[in-house]
Structure 1
Amino acid sequence: MSHATFEHPYFGVFILFVLVSIAFPMTLRLQRFISRALAKKDREKLKLSTYECGPTSNKQPNRISTHFFILALLFILFDIEVLFMVPWALNFKLFEHIGLGIFVFVEMISFIAFLLVGFIYAWKKGALSWQSIE
Protein backbone atom coordinates (compact mmCIF):
# COMPACT_ATOMS: atom_id res chain seq x y z
CA MET A 1 0.00 0.00 0.00
CA SER A 2 1.46 3.33 -0.99
CA HIS A 3 1.07 6.69 0.68
CA ALA A 4 -2.40 8.27 0.78
CA THR A 5 -3.24 10.70 -1.97
CA PHE A 6 -5.71 13.53 -1.71
CA GLU A 7 -6.47 13.66 -5.42
CA HIS A 8 -9.76 11.78 -5.29
CA PRO A 9 -12.49 13.93 -6.86
CA TYR A 10 -14.79 13.57 -3.85
CA PHE A 11 -12.16 14.11 -1.15
CA GLY A 12 -13.17 17.78 -0.77
CA VAL A 13 -16.81 16.79 -0.38
CA PHE A 14 -15.84 14.29 2.31
CA ILE A 15 -13.86 16.94 4.20
CA LEU A 16 -16.80 19.37 3.98
CA PHE A 17 -19.16 16.67 5.22
CA VAL A 18 -16.93 15.97 8.23
CA LEU A 19 -16.57 19.68 9.02
CA VAL A 20 -20.30 20.33 8.71
CA SER A 21 -21.19 17.29 10.83
CA ILE A 22 -18.97 18.73 13.56
CA ALA A 23 -19.71 22.44 13.14
CA PHE A 24 -23.50 22.25 12.84
CA PRO A 25 -24.20 20.55 16.20
CA MET A 26 -21.63 22.77 17.91
CA THR A 27 -23.30 25.88 16.46
CA LEU A 28 -26.70 24.68 17.69
CA ARG A 29 -25.34 24.04 21.18
CA LEU A 30 -23.64 27.44 21.27
CA GLN A 31 -26.80 29.20 20.09
CA ARG A 32 -28.89 27.37 22.67
CA PHE A 33 -26.47 28.27 25.46
CA ILE A 34 -26.33 31.94 24.46
CA SER A 35 -30.09 32.29 24.02
CA ARG A 36 -30.79 30.72 27.41
CA ALA A 37 -28.17 32.89 29.07
CA LEU A 38 -29.48 36.13 27.58
CA ALA A 39 -33.22 35.46 27.73
CA LYS A 40 -35.27 37.19 30.38
CA LYS A 41 -37.19 34.64 32.38
CA ASP A 42 -40.12 36.75 33.63
CA ARG A 43 -41.93 37.99 30.54
CA GLU A 44 -45.34 36.40 31.03
CA LYS A 45 -46.55 39.22 33.26
CA LEU A 46 -45.50 41.79 30.67
CA LYS A 47 -47.22 39.92 27.85
CA LEU A 48 -50.55 39.76 29.69
CA SER A 49 -50.53 43.37 30.86
CA THR A 50 -52.78 45.92 29.13
CA TYR A 51 -51.25 48.31 26.65
CA GLU A 52 -52.30 51.89 27.36
CA CYS A 53 -56.10 51.71 27.53
CA GLY A 54 -56.71 48.35 25.81
CA PRO A 55 -58.81 45.56 27.26
CA THR A 56 -57.28 43.01 29.58
CA SER A 57 -55.98 40.14 27.53
CA ASN A 58 -57.01 36.59 28.24
CA LYS A 59 -54.58 33.76 27.70
CA GLN A 60 -56.08 31.51 25.04
CA PRO A 61 -54.68 28.25 23.68
CA ASN A 62 -53.38 28.37 20.16
CA ARG A 63 -55.78 26.23 18.18
CA ILE A 64 -54.57 25.45 14.70
CA SER A 65 -56.21 22.52 13.04
CA THR A 66 -53.97 19.59 12.21
CA HIS A 67 -55.89 19.36 8.96
CA PHE A 68 -54.01 22.44 7.75
CA PHE A 69 -50.69 20.67 8.28
CA ILE A 70 -51.85 17.54 6.46
CA LEU A 71 -52.96 19.63 3.50
CA ALA A 72 -49.64 21.51 3.49
CA LEU A 73 -47.68 18.24 3.56
CA LEU A 74 -49.72 16.87 0.68
CA PHE A 75 -49.08 20.04 -1.32
CA ILE A 76 -45.33 19.83 -0.73
CA LEU A 77 -45.29 16.12 -1.53
CA PHE A 78 -47.11 16.48 -4.84
CA ASP A 79 -45.19 19.65 -5.73
CA ILE A 80 -41.83 17.92 -5.29
CA GLU A 81 -43.00 14.90 -7.24
CA VAL A 82 -44.01 17.14 -10.12
CA LEU A 83 -40.53 18.69 -9.99
CA PHE A 84 -39.11 15.22 -10.65
CA MET A 85 -41.02 15.16 -13.92
CA VAL A 86 -39.36 18.29 -15.33
CA PRO A 87 -35.85 16.79 -15.85
CA TRP A 88 -37.44 13.66 -17.22
CA ALA A 89 -39.37 15.68 -19.80
CA LEU A 90 -36.29 17.68 -20.74
CA ASN A 91 -34.13 14.58 -21.23
CA PHE A 92 -36.71 12.26 -22.79
CA LYS A 93 -35.42 12.78 -26.34
CA LEU A 94 -31.91 11.90 -25.17
CA PHE A 95 -33.19 8.64 -23.66
CA GLU A 96 -35.12 7.94 -26.82
CA HIS A 97 -32.00 8.57 -28.90
CA ILE A 98 -29.94 6.01 -26.95
CA GLY A 99 -32.71 3.40 -27.09
CA LEU A 100 -34.18 3.71 -23.61
CA GLY A 101 -37.29 5.67 -24.60
CA ILE A 102 -39.86 2.94 -23.94
CA PHE A 103 -38.27 1.94 -20.62
CA VAL A 104 -38.12 5.52 -19.34
CA PHE A 105 -41.68 6.17 -20.54
CA VAL A 106 -42.99 3.08 -18.69
CA GLU A 107 -41.11 4.19 -15.55
CA MET A 108 -42.76 7.62 -15.69
CA ILE A 109 -46.19 6.10 -16.27
CA SER A 110 -45.69 3.89 -13.19
CA PHE A 111 -44.55 6.97 -11.22
CA ILE A 112 -47.69 8.85 -12.27
CA ALA A 113 -49.78 5.79 -11.35
CA PHE A 114 -48.29 5.82 -7.84
CA LEU A 115 -49.06 9.54 -7.62
CA LEU A 116 -52.62 8.87 -8.71
CA VAL A 117 -53.05 6.10 -6.14
CA GLY A 118 -51.75 8.43 -3.40
CA PHE A 119 -54.01 11.24 -4.58
CA ILE A 120 -57.10 8.99 -4.61
CA TYR A 121 -56.21 7.64 -1.15
CA ALA A 122 -55.86 11.18 0.24
CA TRP A 123 -59.13 12.18 -1.42
CA LYS A 124 -61.01 9.17 -0.01
CA LYS A 125 -59.65 9.83 3.49
CA GLY A 126 -60.90 13.43 3.29
CA ALA A 127 -57.47 15.03 3.53
CA LEU A 128 -58.21 17.40 0.65
CA SER A 129 -61.50 18.75 1.96
CA TRP A 130 -61.21 21.84 4.10
CA GLN A 131 -64.28 21.03 6.20
CA SER A 132 -63.43 18.92 9.22
CA ILE A 133 -65.43 15.72 9.66
CA GLU A 134 -64.74 15.48 13.40
Structure 2
Amino acid sequence: MFGDFVPLFLMIALALGLALTLLAAAAYIGPSRPSGTKTMPYESGMDPVGSAHERYSVKFYLVAMIFIVFDVEVVFMWPWAASFHSFVESGAGLGVIAVISLFTLILLVGLLYDVKKGGLDFEQ
Protein backbone atom coordinates (compact mmCIF):
# COMPACT_ATOMS: atom_id res chain seq x y z
CA MET A 1 0.00 0.00 0.00
CA PHE A 2 2.79 2.44 0.90
CA GLY A 3 4.58 1.56 -2.35
CA ASP A 4 1.80 3.19 -4.36
CA PHE A 5 2.68 6.60 -2.91
CA VAL A 6 6.45 6.45 -3.47
CA PRO A 7 6.27 8.36 -6.80
CA LEU A 8 4.14 11.05 -5.15
CA PHE A 9 6.55 11.46 -2.23
CA LEU A 10 9.48 11.48 -4.65
CA MET A 11 7.86 14.25 -6.71
CA ILE A 12 7.14 16.32 -3.57
CA ALA A 13 10.74 15.86 -2.37
CA LEU A 14 12.12 16.89 -5.77
CA ALA A 15 9.86 19.95 -5.95
CA LEU A 16 10.83 21.07 -2.42
CA GLY A 17 14.49 20.42 -3.13
CA LEU A 18 14.41 22.45 -6.34
CA ALA A 19 12.52 25.32 -4.69
CA LEU A 20 14.92 25.49 -1.73
CA THR A 21 17.96 25.22 -4.02
CA LEU A 22 16.76 28.09 -6.21
CA LEU A 23 15.96 30.27 -3.20
CA ALA A 24 19.38 29.61 -1.67
CA ALA A 25 21.12 30.30 -5.00
CA ALA A 26 19.25 33.59 -5.40
CA ALA A 27 20.23 34.65 -1.87
CA TYR A 28 23.94 33.86 -2.36
CA ILE A 29 24.42 34.86 -6.00
CA GLY A 30 22.09 37.86 -6.25
CA PRO A 31 23.34 41.38 -5.56
CA SER A 32 22.51 43.01 -2.26
CA ARG A 33 22.71 46.80 -2.27
CA PRO A 34 20.37 48.09 0.46
CA SER A 35 19.79 51.83 0.62
CA GLY A 36 17.53 54.20 2.52
CA THR A 37 15.14 54.47 -0.41
CA LYS A 38 14.90 50.71 -0.91
CA THR A 39 14.13 50.05 2.74
CA MET A 40 11.34 52.67 2.93
CA PRO A 41 7.75 51.44 2.96
CA TYR A 42 6.24 51.59 -0.52
CA GLU A 43 2.92 53.37 -0.81
CA SER A 44 1.85 53.60 -4.48
CA GLY A 45 4.97 55.51 -5.48
CA MET A 46 4.29 58.25 -2.93
CA ASP A 47 6.21 59.08 0.21
CA PRO A 48 4.44 57.48 3.19
CA VAL A 49 2.31 59.88 5.21
CA GLY A 50 1.38 59.15 8.82
CA SER A 51 1.85 56.07 10.89
CA ALA A 52 1.55 52.56 9.54
CA HIS A 53 -0.17 51.52 12.76
CA GLU A 54 -3.55 53.13 12.16
CA ARG A 55 -6.57 51.25 13.41
CA TYR A 56 -9.23 49.99 11.04
CA SER A 57 -12.90 50.16 11.78
CA VAL A 58 -14.48 46.94 13.02
CA LYS A 59 -17.05 47.27 10.22
CA PHE A 60 -14.29 46.59 7.71
CA TYR A 61 -13.79 43.16 9.27
CA LEU A 62 -17.55 42.54 9.40
CA VAL A 63 -17.86 43.20 5.68
CA ALA A 64 -14.90 40.91 5.08
CA MET A 65 -16.58 38.14 7.11
CA ILE A 66 -19.85 38.59 5.19
CA PHE A 67 -17.89 38.32 1.95
CA ILE A 68 -16.27 35.09 3.14
CA VAL A 69 -19.63 33.63 4.18
CA PHE A 70 -21.17 34.29 0.78
CA ASP A 71 -18.03 33.14 -0.98
CA VAL A 72 -18.25 29.82 0.88
CA GLU A 73 -21.93 29.67 -0.03
CA VAL A 74 -21.00 29.84 -3.70
CA VAL A 75 -18.39 27.12 -3.16
CA PHE A 76 -21.12 24.87 -1.73
CA MET A 77 -23.66 25.75 -4.41
CA TRP A 78 -21.35 25.20 -7.40
CA PRO A 79 -21.21 21.36 -7.15
CA TRP A 80 -24.94 21.29 -6.46
CA ALA A 81 -25.65 23.30 -9.61
CA ALA A 82 -23.21 21.25 -11.67
CA SER A 83 -24.83 17.94 -10.68
CA PHE A 84 -28.45 19.13 -10.54
CA HIS A 85 -29.31 17.36 -13.80
CA SER A 86 -28.35 13.97 -12.30
CA PHE A 87 -30.49 14.74 -9.22
CA VAL A 88 -33.50 15.40 -11.43
CA GLU A 89 -32.92 12.17 -13.37
CA SER A 90 -32.76 10.17 -10.13
CA GLY A 91 -36.03 11.69 -8.89
CA ALA A 92 -34.49 13.67 -6.03
CA GLY A 93 -34.74 17.05 -7.75
CA LEU A 94 -37.39 18.59 -5.48
CA GLY A 95 -35.69 17.41 -2.30
CA VAL A 96 -32.38 18.84 -3.41
CA ILE A 97 -34.03 22.15 -4.33
CA ALA A 98 -35.65 22.24 -0.87
CA VAL A 99 -32.31 21.65 0.88
CA ILE A 100 -30.42 24.28 -1.12
CA SER A 101 -33.30 26.73 -0.70
CA LEU A 102 -33.19 26.25 3.07
CA PHE A 103 -29.43 26.78 3.01
CA THR A 104 -29.84 30.01 1.03
CA LEU A 105 -32.73 31.17 3.22
CA ILE A 106 -30.65 30.77 6.39
CA LEU A 107 -27.88 32.90 4.89
CA LEU A 108 -30.40 35.46 3.63
CA VAL A 109 -31.92 35.78 7.12
CA GLY A 110 -28.41 36.37 8.50
CA LEU A 111 -27.76 39.04 5.88
CA LEU A 112 -31.08 40.77 6.60
CA TYR A 113 -30.28 40.73 10.33
CA ASP A 114 -26.90 42.31 9.60
CA VAL A 115 -28.48 45.01 7.44
CA LYS A 116 -31.11 45.71 10.12
CA LYS A 117 -28.42 46.08 12.80
CA GLY A 118 -26.49 48.49 10.54
CA GLY A 119 -23.52 46.24 9.88
CA LEU A 120 -23.21 47.53 6.33
CA ASP A 121 -23.94 51.17 7.12
CA PHE A 122 -20.63 53.04 7.12
CA GLU A 123 -22.15 56.47 7.75
CA GLN A 124 -22.50 55.86 11.50
Q: Which amino acid aligns with 2:81?
A: A
| Whole-angstrom distance in 2 between the partners of 1:114 and 1:70 | 18
Q: Which structure has more RCO (C-alpha within 8 Å, separation ≥ 6)?
A: 2
Alignment of 1:27-42 (within 5 A): none
1:103 counterpart = 2:76: no
Aligned to 1:77: 69
| Whole-angstrom distance in 2 between the partners of 1:59 and 1:91 | 51
Aligned to 2:107: 115
C-alpha deviations, 1:75-127, integer Å up to 9, x for none?
A: 11112112211211111110111111111011011111111111101111111
2:68 aligned counterpart, secondary structure: helix
Q: Which amino acid aligns with 1:90?
A: A
Q: Give identity over the alignment, percent.
A: 37
Indicate which of 111, 116, 124 corresponds to 1:124: 116
Tell me: CA distance 1:84–1:58, structure 2 relative to 1, closer, same or farther (3 Å): closer
- Structure 1: gaps (5+ residues): 1-5, 17-46, 48-56
Q: Which amino acid aligns with 1:100?
A: A
Which runs of 4 or more aligned residues in structure 1 lie more than 4 Å from their structure 2 counterparts after TM superposition?
A: 57-61
| Whole-angstrom distance in 2 between the partners of 1:89 and 1:58 | 49
Aligned to 1:30: none
Q: Which amino acid aligns with 1:110?
A: L
Aligned to 1:88: 80
- Structure 2: gaps (5+ residues): 10-39, 41-48
| Whole-angstrom distance in 1 between the partners of 2:71 and 2:84 | 20
Q: CA RMSD in A?
A: 3.2
Q: How many residues align?
A: 87
Q: Which amino acid aligns with 1:116?
A: L
| Whole-angstrom distance in 2 between the partners of 1:95 and 1:60 | 53
| Whole-angstrom distance in 1 between the partners of 2:72 and 2:58 | 21
